[in-house]
Structure 1
């Protein structure tokens, strides 16, 4: 068996409306289902929303499923499970700076910015505390250079 690519990500969220507003309106994902007219609500027994990136690369890349306000939160500190997922948002620090302004204007939680040598990253949290890395690749880096890939991260000033 050989994995060809990461296909999609599914997240449980407390409030589907709040999460849709974040992923669609702040991060710019394209909502696939349900459609604005309510079509395609689907067979799931709870509210959900399906998205793909504006590129339309596949049927969906992100699925949100509402589990309600009483769902347990993410435990703090070291734990087993998802740490974050990364979303490439462009090719320059100018695009990261523009993203930072958009996030700040929307009142999103910004956790920090890191220079990973091969990428520059902005870390944020969605409304349920799921961590997201928004990044750009640094031009001219050799992705086959293991030493470069293992370089210690540094603070990034945007």
Structure 2
């Protein structure tokens, strides 16, 4: 067996409409449709049938913060250049979404933030693919601060 790519992510969310404002309206995912009497919604970036499924669970306990087992964050490619990342930073600021970190990973550059349910989201752009194609270990390069 060989994995081809990560297909989709499913998040349990407190409020489906709040999460749609974040993922659909702010980050630009396209809503495919709702199921489970409107308590779940599928979204896509256009790459495949759906990359994200949100399921409303109301006031169920949130995962603990800090180090823990389970999902750390998801990465979402939002463009192809640092200008795209700068634009995203401005849009997040305008929407009142705090940026919790900015990193240069050599093979990509990233902004970090939390969604409405405190899931960590990485918004990134890739550096020139020749960097990792010529040197696959570049993905393990020390993380540097990113200044935009």
Alignment TM-score > 0.5, same fold: yes
How many residue pairs align between the two structures?
147
C-alpha contact 1:109 1:126 (8 A) present in aligned 2: no
- Secondary structure class of the residue paired with 2:21: helix
User: Quick check: which has more Rg, 1 or 2?
Assistant: 1
| Higher helix fraction (1 or 2) | 2
Q: List per-residue Cα deviations over 1:69-122 (Å, max 9, x = no partner).
A: x21112111100000011111111110000000011111131110001111011
Give matches, 1:65-76, under 5 Å.
Answer: 65-68=55-58, 70-76=59-65
Q: Which runs of 5+ in 2 are unaligned?
A: none
TM-score, normalised on structure 2? 0.93
In the other structure, the counterpart of 1:151 is 141
Q: CA RMSD in A?
A: 1.4
Which residues in structure 2 correspond to 1:13-28 (within 5 Å)? 13-28=13-28
The TM-score normalised by the length of structure 1 is 0.87
Which consecutive residues of structure 1, in runs of 5 or more, have no partner in the other structure? 35-41
SS at match of 1:142: helix
